[in-house]
């Protein structure tokens, strides 16, 4: 093992025999997470919106790692029908799932709604993953060492609150606050899921991670006023997607990880660096809010969990 404060992809233990489903894994952090898990022997399923891009990513992984077992599953998180279809196909193909990595996300999008009428960032980043997790959990609960890893963001602190009176931003819209709400929801979901798993004494754990400031396609919707700052500051704070994937990889594979933990970079302001245990905002730990969000998420998605 490398020293714990310089944890790298080389520290990922053997993943042979494990099945990992990773959302949004054809580019960026999701791709690098998939690549490393495949290199370490996992059967990796790229759950992506565009199967063609997914197949191209699978080919890149196979080139880098000829023995890799990589599959592609179409999944559009902004459609509950697509989430159900994907979950059915995955459950049929894989009697056991060891890892579900809720990685996909949209960021700072102009005001849009999903097919089901949810605000796009909340609908995709939180509700889509909430539904997918609930539907795949039966394949994970019997599996020793199984984990649900959900990727949040430092943005869970920025202008972030769960707007229960207007979850879908129908009365005014702020793309930064809406993103913050979705990423705060990712953490609250992780904590509430972990509490439920522990209460039922299940071997599955729920963990969260954030990549710091990573160079991915996510920033394509940055508001215009932030562009100059991005160009100026980006080279100083940003790290590559391979480094950005390390907190997720550690949360997914380090044998020391415990349920309800949160991993992020160890550098200044958690912007870059090697993964370490980090703290979420006080708000993210509010049990009453977590339970309220859980109840409303079940209502909106029509998904009830087996825990």
Q: Is residue 306 part of a domain?
A: no
Which entry of 179, 191, 262, 263 is annotated as an active-site residue?
179
Q: Is residue 20 part of a domain?
A: yes
pLDDT value at position 226? 66
Q: Is residue 215 part of a domain?
A: yes
Q: Which structural domain range is residue 287 located in? A: 10-301
pLDDT value at position 213? 85
The predicted model scores a pTM of 0.94
What's the total number of domains in the chain? 1
Q: Is residue 4 part of a domain?
A: no
Token digits of residue 246 = 């390390």
- Mean pLDDT per 10-residue section of the chain, whose length is 307 residues: 75 98 97 98 98 98 95 98 98 98 96 98 98 98 98 94 97 95 98 98 97 69 66 68 96 98 94 96 98 98 97
* Beta-bridge mates of residue 119: 113
Assess whether 173 carries a catalytic annotation.
no
pLDDT value at position 140? 98
pLDDT value at position 2? 45
The residue behind tokens 């949209």 is: 106
CATH assignment at residue 161: 3.40.50.720
- Rounded Cα distance between 119 and 110, Å, is 10
Token digits of residue 224 = 């215009």
Q: Is residue 254 part of a domain?
A: yes
- Rounded Cα distance between 134 and 87, Å, is 9
- Rounded Cα distance between 225 and 32, Å, is 30
Q: Are 42 and 21 in contact (CB under 8 A)?
A: no
Q: Is residue 213 part of a domain?
A: yes
């Amino acid at each position: 093992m490398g020293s714990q404060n310089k944890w790298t992809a080389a520290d990922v233990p053997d993943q042979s025999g494990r099945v990992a489903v990773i959302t949004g894994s054809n580019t960026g952090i999701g791709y690098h997470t998939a690549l490393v898990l495949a290199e370490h022997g996992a059967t990796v399923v790229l759950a992506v919106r565009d199967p063609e891009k997914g197949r191209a990513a699978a080919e890149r992984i196979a080139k880098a790692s000829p023995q890799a077992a990589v599959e592609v599953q179409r999944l559009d998180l902004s459609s509950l029908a697509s989430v159900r279809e994907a979950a059915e196909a995955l459950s049929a193909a894989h009697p056991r799932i060891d890892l579900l990595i809720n990685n996909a996300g949209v960021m700072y999008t102009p005001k849009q709604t999903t097919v089901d009428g949810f605000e796009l960032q909340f609908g995709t980043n939180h509700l889509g993953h909430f539904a997918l997790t609930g539907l795949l959990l039966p394949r994970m609960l019997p599996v020793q060492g199984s984990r649900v890893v959900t990727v949040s963001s430092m943005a869970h602190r920025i202008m972030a609150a769960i707007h229960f009176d207007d979850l879908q931003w129908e009365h005014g819209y702020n793309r930064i606050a809406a993103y913050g709400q979705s990423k705060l929801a990712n953490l609250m979901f992780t904590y509430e899921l972990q509490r439920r798993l522990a209460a039922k004494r299940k071997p599955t754990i729920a963990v969260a991670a954030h990549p710091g400031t990573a160079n991915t396609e996510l920033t394509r919707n940055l508001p215009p006023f932030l562009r100059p700052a991005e160009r100026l500051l980006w080279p100083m704070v940003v790290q590559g997607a391979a480094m950005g994937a390390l907190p997720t990889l550690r949360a997914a594979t380090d044998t020391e990880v415990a349920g309800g933990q949160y991993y992020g970079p160890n550098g200044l302001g958690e912007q870059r660096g090697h993964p370490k245990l980090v703290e979420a905002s006080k708000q993210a730990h509010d049990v009453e809010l977590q339970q309220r969000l859980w109840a409303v998420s079940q209502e909106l998605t029509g998904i009830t969990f087996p825990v």
